Amino acid sequence: MLPVTPVFIKSKETLQQLSLLLDRERLAYGEQNSKLIIDLSNEKQSLLDEMNTLNEKRINILIKFDIVNRKKPTEKEFKDWLSKQDSSFDDLRLLIVECEALLNLCKNKNNTNARILLTLQKRNKHLFELLQGHNEKNKVYTARGSTKPISSKHTLGRA
């Protein structure tokens, strides 16, 4: 049996943890708990670092067993090799399918969280501009072509 199976098992566990963490991150955005969001972000980075390490380990094993090209290893090479193997590799095939499904789930959850974060950032920027007395109508173009609010003399802070 190919010693890459334990790497995929660990990858699956890490992806499951990442999926749960992304759910918690989404809830933290809803609660607007900045401390929790920062903690979850650090946890997420740690899990992503672990996934990168596991990926490097997997590639090194595949190179060592001469399954993929040493100079430019690709997933296609590995999958082509795996498709030619007998039924004793069915467990590995299933594990790979599960990992790919989890990875896609994590990508979707992360994209959803990114959209939520962008919406929160826009809302907070708008509220901040309101506090500063900026108005959508009182904007000018900068040298780069973007818009910049003009300060008003009647801000909430001066009221």
Domains recognised in the chain with CATH numbers:
5-120 (1.20.58.300)
Q: For 9-54, how does the pLDDT look when each residue is reduced to its tens digit (9 = 90+)?
A: 999 999 999 999 999 999 999 898 889 999 999 999 999 999 999 9
pTM for the full predicted model = 0.79
Determine whether 15 is exposed, middle or buried from the number of CB atoms within 10 Å of its CB (0-12, 13-18, 19+). buried
